[in-house]
Amino acid sequence: MTDGADQVQIDARGLECPVPTQQAVEAMRRAREAGTAETLVVQLDDAICAADIPFQANALGYDADSERADDQQWTITLRPRNAATTQDQ
Amino acid sequence: MAFRSATSTAPSALFPWPTQSVVGVVVLVAALVFSRVIGASTAVLAPLWLLGMVTGFTLQRSRFCFASAFRDLFLFGQSRILNGILVGLAITTLGFGLLMYDEVPFPQFGALPSEAHILPVGLSTVFGGVLFGVGMVLAGGCSSGSLYRVGEGYVASGVAVIGMIVGLAVLAYQWNWWWDTIIQHEPKVWLAEALPGGYGAAVALTLVGIFIVFLAALWWETRNGFAMPAINKPEAEPPDLTLRGRLSTLWQRVFVDGWSPIVGGAVLGITALLMYLAAQPWGVTGELSRWGQNATDSLSIGAPVLKGLDAIGGCAARSGEGGIFTATFAITVSLVVGALVAALFAGEFKLRFPRQRRRYGQALVGGIAMGYSSGLAIGCTIGAFFSAVPSLALSGWVFGGSLAGGAWLGVKILRRIP
């Protein structure tokens, strides 16, 4: 979690709801509080969390881009919408 | 600004996940045939089986999870799924009111509608609700939630269901103590009877209560700095307006993409209403309790005769039904089958073994807590809450409030687990 890092990887494969969402939300909250603007990449295979994370991200000021592979794997890329404004919230 | 549907990888294929869809059709046809079999001896079991399949299908499609509805208030500070439950409750409250009025037009004379979930309210409701709330957060799903996830292939959820059966069986040994000491002294408070305004006042008060919960949850969300802006819609791809293209879009929306919790809550509300119209309100605990009792009975270590079950109603009265194919069987086993069909059509079925071993322990302990407490409170999130609030029973509100308290406690515990 260093400032200026391009991407933070979260490997939540094999973890079940709500753990992957928890990990993603905590990472986004930490980044928001620290005012960093890195992109988070979450890998997971829990369909419930794959559906939930974009909603959580949206509310935390992140854009979520979700890619599903054929074998129940999701890669969700979370990009801060605007680092400056999210800090003000 | 890209928010894309998680499943848009194969938008144009009519059957995006062929193998699973084909298996899904086979399971669906078999389940439909089975509704004829189960309905052969007792006709009402056929519609109950089909409605149970709809509940399982809907739970899977909308990711409708009572555990997360309560838990996410405290874990993430949001109420997205809770709002779906509230929509379902508003629908069932109006419908149950009409059905109960049909059976008991004059509530002030003391008769209760025979099948409605109007349960004793008191210490057992509060203790049961709190314990259930903790259990469902630990297990990662309540009774209906764990059952539908079994249909999707979650192994740990199966462990939670086994835990529930164990917990219910354990409670059976202690039930008579609870009955003698506590439950038999607890009143069944039916708002239609207790309020001077009868049905009108009871339905109005329940709807106001639902609205107040909605407002409170909204306040809670904003207090937590969790204001949900409108989510970005998927960027419009050029629509395929051919018949094939439009059918494919329709298929995608219903069978592959998830439904919103509001849609899920509305469908579940209507399904629960039809279930009551056909026979009885929706419940899950009765059948699981029957399995526990059958298991202990067959080992000749069965619990003594349980006192007071007929006086209570709800899931408790039904746990004593004999035979394999009962009404509770029809609405509970079908839930798993409906969820399996939904998961197969969405290409989401997969046997999932949790990476963390302790997940099994958590599921088992949470399941046992849920089983014991749902026996005590005479129902779970479904029977003692989702079917009790619209029965205009005070017990539904007390159980719901206690569930929220238990979920809060459960989140505290969950956060301490590394």
Partner B, chain A 11-70, Cβ-Cβ below 8 Å: 13-18, 21-22, 25, 45-48, 50-52, 54-56, 58-60, 63-70
**Whether residue A89 has pLDDT greater than 70:** no
The pLDDT score that the predictor gives to residue B3 is 40
Partner A, chain B 207-226, Cβ-Cβ below 8 Å: 225-226
The pLDDT score that the predictor gives to residue A1 is 45
The pLDDT score that the predictor gives to residue B313 is 78
- Averaged in consecutive runs of 10 residues, what is the pLDDT profile of chain B (418 residues)? 39 55 94 94 94 97 92 90 96 97 91 94 97 96 95 95 96 94 95 94 97 95 68 62 87 87 96 95 92 88 84 78 85 96 91 90 97 95 96 97 97 87
Mean pLDDT over A28-45 rounds to: 88
Q: Identify the residue among A28, A32, A48, A82 best suited for mutation to test binding to B, counting B beta carbons within 10 A and taking the highest.
A: A48
Mean pLDDT over A36-57 rounds to: 90
The answer to whether A76 and A53 have CB atoms below 8 angstroms apart is yes
CB pairs under 8 A between A and B: 84
Q: How far apart are CA A77 and CA A57, in angstroms?
A: 10
Chain A residue with CA closest to B5: the answer is: A66
Sign of the Cα pseudo-torsion (B334, B339, B345, B347, in order): negative
SS (H, E, C) chain B: CCCCCCCCCCCCCCCCCHHHHHHHHHHHHHHHHHHHHHHHHCCCHHHHHHHHHHHHHHHHHHCCCHHHHHHHHHHCCCCHHHHHHHHHHHHHHHHHHHHHHHHCCCHHHCCCCCCCCCCECCHHHHHHHHHHHHHHHHHCCCHHHHHHHHHHCEHHHHHHHHHHHHHHHHHHHHHHHHHHHCHHHCCECEHHHHCCCHHHHHHHHHHHHHHHHHHHHHHHHHHCCCCCCCCCCCCCCCCCCCHHHHHHHHHHHHHHCCCCHHHHHHHHHHHHHHHHHHCCCCCCHHHHHHHHHHHHHHCCCCCCCCCCHHHHCHHHHHCCCCCCCCHHHHHHHHHHHHHHHHHHHCCCCCCECCCCCHHHHHHHHHHHHHHHHHHHCCCCHHHHHHCCCCCCEHHHHHHHHHHHHHHHHHHHHHHHCC
Region class of A82: left (phi > 0), else alpha (psi between -120 and 50), else beta? beta
ipTM: 0.82
Mean pLDDT over A57-64 rounds to: 89
Question: Which among A5, A50, A51 is positioned nearest to A30, based on CA atoms?
Answer: A5
B231 touches chain A (CB under 8 A): yes
In chain A, which residues have their Cβ closer than 8 Å to the Cβ of B359? 16
Region class of A7: left (phi > 0), else alpha (psi between -120 and 50), else beta? beta
In chain A, which residues have their Cβ closer than 8 Å to the Cβ of B141? 17
**Whether residue A43 has pLDDT greater than 90:** yes
